[in-house]
Structures are given as C-alpha cells and as structure tokens.
Amino acid sequence: MSERVIRQACVEDIEALCALILEHGPNPWNHFPEVEVRQHLQGIAASTTLAVLA
C-alpha cells in the first residue's frame, strides 16, 4: 500500500487542479465559473490562496 501524503499545492499543480474542479465540480447545485476558478487558483502562485492536496 502506498503512503498517503498531504502537502501544500504549488504552481505546478494549478492546471491539474483547474481541470479537476471544472470537470468534476459542476452539478445541478454548484456553479463554477471558469474565469473565477482560474483567477482563484492563480492565487496559489501569488501566495494569496492556500490549497492543500492529499
């Protein structure tokens, strides 16, 4: 069994996070506008958004 790792997201994770959110996030109860999602995730690069990956 592989070890589980929790870490802070970094610049290299932004595109994968964006793809995951935009592909699997929207449903009848949630709306994820692409421009705003991308802007928020760019905050990872600017250190204004903290994201944790598991």
Summarize pLDDT for 22-37 with one digit per residue, the tens.
999 999 999 999 999 9
pLDDT of 1 higher than 90: no
What is the C-alpha to C-alpha distance for residues 49 and 43, in angstroms, rounded to an integer?
Answer: 5
pLDDT grade for 44, boundaries at 50, 70 and 90: very high
Per-position DSSP letters for 1-54, written without gaps between them: -PPP--EE--GGGHHHHHHHHHHHS-BTTB---HHHHHHHHHHHHHTSS--EE-
The CA–CA distances, whole Å, from 36 to 3, 7, 23, 27, 40 equal: 34, 24, 15, 17, 6
